[in-house]
Amino acid sequence: MLRWSKSIATLLFLLMLSATGGAFAQEKKPQPKTRILFLLDASGSMMAKWENSDRMTVAKNLLSHLVDSLDQYDNVEVALRAYGHQFGRERNDCKDTKLEVPFGEDNATAIKKKLDAIVPRGNTPITYSLQQAAGDFPEDRSRNVVILITDGLESCGGDPCATSEALQKKRIFLRPFVIGIGIEPQQEQQLDCIGQYFNAADIKTFERVLSEIVTQTLSQTTVSVELLDEQNRPRETGVNMTFVNAMTGEAEYDYVHYLDANGKTDVLDVDALLPYHLVVYTTPPVVESNLKMQPGKNNVIRVKAPQGELYLRQDGPSPYRLLNTIVRQAGTDKTLHVQSFGERHRYLTGKYDLEILTVPRIMLRNVEVKQGETNTITIPPPGQLAIPSQVQGYGSVYELHESGAQRWVCNLPEDNSKVTLPLQPGKYKLVYRMKSAQSSKFTFVQDFTIRSGATTTVRIFNR
């Protein structure tokens, strides 16, 4: 009976994990509302002929159809702002912009009526319109999108590119879409920096571009990250990785990489309207900048990240409470990682310089880490220098080399010379003068040898 109860308890626990997606799985965030602001150029030039109609009429018709199609989405709201339509060009009004229809549910009819009433008249204050558009979006957390439709460049001396970048960094809206009508090729770069630029060379292209923008905005986009070994096989895993907003520098998604039993990585949801850098936190990190995401598809990102392991160990007992090693990429001065003895750590394949914080320090150059292998670094256990004398003074320990040169290792405490100091095996010299000594000629000098696991005693005498 007891065995049956345990089985039922186990089954219930597994069912609970299955129902909740796992005890430690991240909860899937609810989809935020998407708000699309149409920013329509209604300057006088929009009356120019375009195929069998004029630019404004075409824009109105296509926007009306688009608003109707967006009305079927429950989690989408639209709004309309126009510029250049309230005053004639002779007034040169650089604040001629107005939110004609604010965000709200079921406002498609209101937008279509307002589109019918707009008559192109004035100039092109794009920068000021973008600044005012920042206040059109409610302050709740939503996916704010701007679709700018224009047939001209900024005419009021503003900098729409800098304004757009500043508003994106504040997360007022995501990267805008810009549709240029009748824009000369040499002028396109002045619009391309505002957001993702599309050239509507003809009416059919204009219609296709609007459809593509809606697809990019509303379609589910996913990504799979493959961490490649030296043979370009997706075999590496278990590494932290972050999708960083390339505009703001904020972390948008944090994951620990996963491979299933068949060696397949998982599929992750991302927002295709954000620009990304991918940081893979190997040692050292690998950064894939300016990822190219295809909206509405699964994007496979391949990152070269072959790794091996470095294992630091010391034979025998050690008087060091914690022995650390500074790890640097070979030939550089920048600290990459601090690894403790007894620890295993993975690094990208390559060569590294190790500075082991023994006394004296041990320098190992060009230590190689190979893919899938463990490089074990072993050092002999230290011995100890014991100074039983309890005197005050000034002293130092030097390491002696076979060439006859000596290297300073450390100073002794001035208030009490009685110490037990771990030292690596080798030959040394102690140089010491008591505070009570009245001349440098009373300096005490003593050579000594340190052996692994043994204690060497040196007594200080006043000379």
pLDDT at 158: 94
Domain 220-304 class in CATH: mainly beta
Domain 34-218 class in CATH: alpha beta
pLDDT at 322: 85
Q: Can you tell me the distance from the alpha carbon of 243 to that of 251, in angstroms, rounded to the nearest whole number?
A: 6
Quick one: how many helices (H) and strands (E) in the chain?
7, 29
In DSSP notation, 394-440 reads EEEEEEEPTTS-EEEEEEPPSS---EEEEE-SEEEEEEEEETT-SSG
Whether residue 2 has pLDDT greater than 50: no
Percent of the chain with pLDDT over 90: 84
The b-or-e profile of 413-445 (16+ CB within 10 A means b, else e) is eeeebebebbbbeeebebbbbbeebeeeeeebe
pTM for this predicted structure: 0.83
SS3 of residue 263 by DSSP: coil
**Does domain 383-457 sit in CATH 1.10.8?**
no
Which one-letter DSSP state was computed for residue 274?
S
Quick: pLDDT tens for 315-345.
776 677 789 999 999 999 999 999 999 999 9
CB-CB contact of 95 with 128 (8 Å): yes
Bridge-partner residues for 410, per DSSP? 397
pLDDT at 150: 96
Domain pair 307-379 / 383-457, same fold = yes
Q: What are phi and psi of 376, to 5 degrees?
A: -95, 120
Whether residue 227 has pLDDT greater than 70: yes
Note the CATH number of domain 307-379: 2.60.40.1120
* Mean pLDDT, rounded, for 37-46: 96
CB-CB contact of 412 with 422 (8 Å): no
* Mean pLDDT, rounded, for 291-308: 96
Domain positions in the chain are: 34-218, 220-304, 307-379, 383-457
Whether residue 101 has pLDDT greater than 50: yes
Quick: pLDDT tens for 125-181.
999 999 999 999 998 878 999 999 999 999 999 999 999 999 999 999 998 999 999
Whether residue 16 has pLDDT greater than 50: no
